Structure 1
Amino acid sequence: MFSVLRQTSRSRLSLPRRAAVPAGIQSIPIFRTLITKRFTADHETVSYDDKTGLGTITITEYAQSSLGDVVFVELPALETKVEQGDQIGAVESVKAASDIYAPVSGIVKEVNEKLNDQPGLLNKSPEEDGWLCKIQLSNPAEVEDLMTAKAYRDIQDS
């Protein structure tokens, strides 16, 4: 009985065969991009894409919930050179105003222009649609010095 079960499970687990590549067509190599997301104690995040060298800067979900309804966002100018810890913008809400600091050093290559007309995107989707800017990192090693998601959660819990 056990040999029948083994044979049945082996036949179900067999993987489909790879299709043959037609002559004259080369296979395309697949490259994986590593995106590393890190956090600051001031509630900013950077998602670093090692393929492009760009870091996407956002505020955290915790930051947006603490701010309340966002009514204005000040963004950095394109091609601005920033150092880690420099002020790169500000967020104003019905409760308070808060500065935004660069979690990494580099040059601002893109800003989220949608925030000029729709500052509430920071409340709806702070870490996705409400991204602030993209920085071409001058020192990618700075990303590793920032907090992991677990370390950031730990400081929220304390």
Structure 2
Amino acid sequence: MTKHYIESDIRNNYRALTKCLIEKHLSITTMESATSGQIASLITDTEGASAILKGAFITYSNEAKIMQGVPAEIIDTYSVYSKETAEAMACACAKAYLADIGIGVTGTMGNIDPANPNASVPGQVYFAIKIHDTVSSYYVELEPQPTRLAYKLAVAKEVYDKLIEILES
């Protein structure tokens, strides 16, 4: 079954999420690789987002992830494209910004990563959500998307769906 990702719906979802986080006084941060800041951007599209988003990291390279607190051993042991790396990313950004919620995203969009050719499979994305002391990790396989933006929005939608599920439980 083909999943459809509609940009206007995703933007509306993130507006509602940002307002919800503001109302609940929950801070959030991201460490994004595959989405290169798309999730943080969607959050900050809503007025008042500065109350909940103190900052975010775009860690497109392994070195950048390590510089921001992801242990090199995790990347070496499990690969940069793994639930363990996504979990370490979520924990590292939450710690750096003292945020209630940390989101880590890593994966390969529409092509093989030349820096990690043996670990990257197009469309495979790992993400993790840390809320307070609980970390949940997820894996999605995206069907080919028409553009890089479409891939980023698709991942943002997957992250949104899981985060809302957690917040409402």
Category of TM-score, reference length = shorter chain:
under 0.3
What TM-score comes out, normalization by structure 2 length? 0.22
- Higher helix content, 1 or 2: 2
Query: Higher strand proportion, which one?
Result: 1
Higher Rg of the two aligned structures: 1
TM-score (norm 1): 0.23
